[in-house]
Amino acid sequence: MRIDAHNRVEIARDARIRDCRIHIKGRGNTLSIAPGANLRGVLLELRGDDNHLSIGEGTVIGGDCYLSARGQGIQLIIGADGMLSRNVKVMTGDGHDILEGDHCINAPRSIHIDDHVWLADEATVLKGVSIGRDAVVGLGSIVTRDVPAGAIVAGNPARVIREGIHWVR
């Protein structure tokens, strides 16, 4: 665990955190993990200033997942009762700036994943995306645009293949 000073980590007593790595670099960043959340072998990263990464109540996140909130004032919100399978990546930025003159043309953007969302193995969610309640993201899909509530998306880039669904654990 590497956490710079002037950052905050809030982990509920009954959250289960096993074999996870937490890297927080910058100032004013907040990591919040709600009661009943269950993480195993996850890398959580906050880089920059005033970023917020939140994992909701009862959400399960599988091995080798990577959740990254980078930038300034960025939010990565994962709602309650969700499931992120193995090797899922959720990234608010590209890792490096691409400049045109002095202007950054690939600025980080917040991500919001609503309650009761299932991201299957090796799914990737990219910056600026919102995923609605009860949605399912298929195996290996790359999500580049918003996903409506109650939709299944799949592919690269992910596209809606069915709507009006809900899923059960």
Structural domains in the chain plus CATH codes: 2-163 (2.160.10.10)
Q: Report the candidate in 84, 51, 42 with the shortest Cα–Cα distance to residue 69.
A: 51
**Band of residue 104 on the pLDDT scale cut at 50, 70, 90:** very high
Q: Report the candidate in 40, 57, 60, 37 with the shortest Cα–Cα distance to residue 119.
A: 60
Alpha helices for 97-164 (secondary structure H): none
Q: pLDDT for 144-165, tens place per residue?
A: 999 999 999 999 999 999 999 9
CA dist 134 and 164 (Å) reads: 9
CA dist 20 and 41 (Å) reads: 5
Q: pLDDT for 3-60, tens place per residue?
A: 999 999 999 999 999 999 999 999 999 999 999 999 999 999 999 999 999 999 999 9
pTM above 0.75, yes or no: yes
